[in-house]
Amino acid sequence: MVHRLFHFDIKTLANYGDTILFEMVRETFNTFQGRKTFYVAGSSNLRETVGRETVDKINESYDAVVIGGGGLFLADTNPNDRSGWQWDCSMELLERIEKPLIVFAVGNNRFPGQPEFGERFREHVNKVVEKSVFFGLRNTGSVRTIRDYLKPELREKVVWQPCPTTLIAKLCPDLYDEKLEPAKRLSIQTYLSKRHTDAGFDRDGIYDGIARALSTLQGRGWRLESFANARGDRAFSAHARSKGLELPVTAHFDKRHIFNPLRAFAKLPLAVGMRGHAQMIPFGLGVPIVSLYNHDKLRYFLDDIGAPELLVDVREPGFGDALVDRAEHVLENFASIRAHFAAKQEEMFALTMRNLASISKALGGDGTGAGVKPYSVFERKLAQSLWLATYDKEQQAAGRPAAASPRGDVNGRDVADVDAQAVEE
């Protein structure tokens, strides 16, 4: 039995993590159990207000609804009074959806210092859990914090489902570099928005500390570069240049070859990042990481993979020395870190297979089987063509040029949060 799924997603080129994560969700479902169980047959932008026509189409033509992944539990990105989070579906239309819901690899993305979710969110998320045959969040920290908003009898329905970007080596095995060797080379992504400065993060001071740490590493023979998953990530390279440090930037956003950046990530001996997917994507390709704390989700992820020592808290005095130490630690322990990541990925993949089997059983399947049949390179090209065609159609319908990216990224409006003079255009 093949279950036809409707996917509420976001197709954007503004943030590469969000570009690739929803495609990895689709591939996870489509390739499960030899491609004989699920088929993602339709989609809609989850930030657009859900209408009666969409609900009727779901009820008439699909077997279930997938929502996510991404850091969707956030009140001030796509603010609305219908749900209180990013999925803009009213209580009335949520009640009208007759098909089971599957919440898959969604995260609690509330930023440090932000207020708790309101009563509308509490009411809405409880109803979503009630209607879900599966409610999986992308880290155990999100599991704990979202359970606090639920009725006691619903809390155990919330379980851990890792983001499929952490499983890229399984979904796209040809992109995994088995021969990756340790080297004095790192690529870094940094980003502090107005949300962070409002919460007390000293952006200039932190950027200064990172630049000093990178200069120290450069003096020890390290080759340095930067990667930008979103436009705002380029601000740090301009800051570093003002301090005398040249930092070449590779931009992964606004690229219509949506799988190509994965090849670049797979070749990195060390990826240092401040965004969730700046750590999850490299991990998914077996690349060692160091995470710079600017959000609890970074700590949650490292705790889940059993590597809390790879976190550097940029709020701590002297954090730059810690960044230098962590980079040297990765270089010295490269093989063991890679082996640890591979073992953790196997555990997360096995959990995902069990979760998919339980979803299949809840939808009337036999609930057996495991494993995936990955897309071929040609099939990925077909998937990319469909992704781009849908993206362009959504852009046209919204009156935006095809090259534009809709309303920032899942984690926030990155362009508006960066001083214009600090951005390399």
Whether residue 139 is found in the same domain as residue 269: no
Whether residue 81 is found in the same domain as residue 136: yes
Whether residue 204 is found in the same domain as residue 322: yes
* Domain boundaries, position 204: 172-338
Q: How many residues are listed for the chain in this entry?
A: 425
Q: What is the pLDDT of residue 207?
A: 98
Select from 351, 176, 389, 178 the least CA-distant residue to 265. Answer: 176
Angstrom distance (rounded) from CA 76 to CA 114: 9
148-174 residue pLDDT tens:
999 999 999 999 999 999 999 999 999
The token duo for 415 is 């362009």
Q: Is the CB of residue 108 less than 8 Å from the CB of residue 142? A: yes
Query: Is position 59 within any domain?
Result: yes
Predicted confidence (pLDDT) at residue 415 exceeds the cutoff of 50:
no
Angstrom distance (rounded) from CA 371 to CA 374: 9
62-107 residue pLDDT tens:
999 999 999 999 999 999 999 999 999 999 999 999 999 999 999 9
Residue type, 162: P
Query: Is position 314 within any domain?
Result: yes
Tell me the sheet residues that pair with 15: 230
DSSP 110: P
Predicted confidence (pLDDT) at residue 275 exceeds the cutoff of 70:
yes
Query: Is position 223 within any domain?
Result: yes
Q: What is the pLDDT of residue 411?
A: 40
Q: Is the CB of residue 162 less than 8 Å from the CB of residue 348? A: yes
Whether residue 81 is found in the same domain as residue 155: yes
Angstrom distance (rounded) from CA 188 to CA 209: 14
Whether residue 65 is found in the same domain as residue 156: yes
The total domain count for the chain is 2
**Residue 163 in 3-state DSSP?**
coil
Q: What is the pLDDT of residue 235?
A: 95
Query: Is position 424 within any domain?
Result: no
The domain that holds 205 is classified in CATH as 3.40.50.2000
Which pLDDT band, with edges at 50, 70 and 90, does 402 fall under?
A: low
Q: Is the CB of residue 6 less than 8 Å from the CB of residue 42? A: yes
Domain's final residue, options 310, 338, 366: 338
Classify residue 292 as exposed, middle or buried by CB count within 10 Å of its CB (0-12, 13-18, 19+).
Answer: buried
Angstrom distance (rounded) from CA 20 to CA 106: 14
Buried b (16+ CB within 10 A) or exposed e, 86-102: bbbbbeebbeebebbbb
Predicted confidence (pLDDT) at residue 424 exceeds the cutoff of 50:
no
Question: Average pLDDT, stretch 34-61?
Answer: 97
Angstrom distance (rounded) from CA 7 to CA 375: 19
Whether residue 264 is found in the same domain as residue 364: no
Q: Between 404 and 17, where is the model more confident? A: 17
- The pairing of strands 289-293 and 271-273 is parallel
Whether residue 357 is found in the same domain as residue 384: yes
Whether residue 158 is found in the same domain as residue 9: yes
Query: Is position 420 within any domain?
Result: no
Query: Is position 419 within any domain?
Result: no
135-147 residue pLDDT tens:
999 999 999 999 9
Q: What are phi and psi of 370, to 5 degrees?
A: -155, 175
Q: Which residues contact 129 (CB under 8 A, 6 or more apart)?
A: 103, 135, 150, 154, 157, 158
Domain's final residue, options 312, 338, 364: 338
Q: Between 18 and 412, where is the model more confident? A: 18
Domain's final residue, options 338, 358, 386: 338
Angstrom distance (rounded) from CA 331 to CA 333: 6
Scanning the structure block, which residue is given the tokens 């630690």? 329
Q: Between 311 and 367, where is the model more confident? A: 311
Whether residue 186 is found in the same domain as residue 217: yes
Per mean pLDDT, which range of 224-238, 270-284, 290-304, 394-408 is the poorest? 394-408
167-205 residue pLDDT tens:
999 999 999 999 999 999 999 999 999 999 999 999 999
Predicted confidence (pLDDT) at residue 414 exceeds the cutoff of 50:
no
Tell me the sheet residues that pair with 65: 6, 101
% of the chain residues with pLDDT over 70: 94
The domain that holds 98 is classified in CATH as 3.40.50
Query: Is position 209 within any domain?
Result: yes
Question: Average pLDDT, stretch 397-422?
Answer: 47
Whether residue 146 is found in the same domain as residue 293: no
Q: What is the pLDDT of residue 103?
A: 98
Query: Is position 225 within any domain?
Result: yes
Whether residue 71 is found in the same domain as residue 194: no
Whether residue 155 is found in the same domain as residue 280: no
Predicted confidence (pLDDT) at residue 410 exceeds the cutoff of 80:
no
What pTM was estimated for this model as a whole?
A: 0.94
Predicted confidence (pLDDT) at residue 240 exceeds the cutoff of 50:
yes
Predicted confidence (pLDDT) at residue 233 exceeds the cutoff of 70:
yes
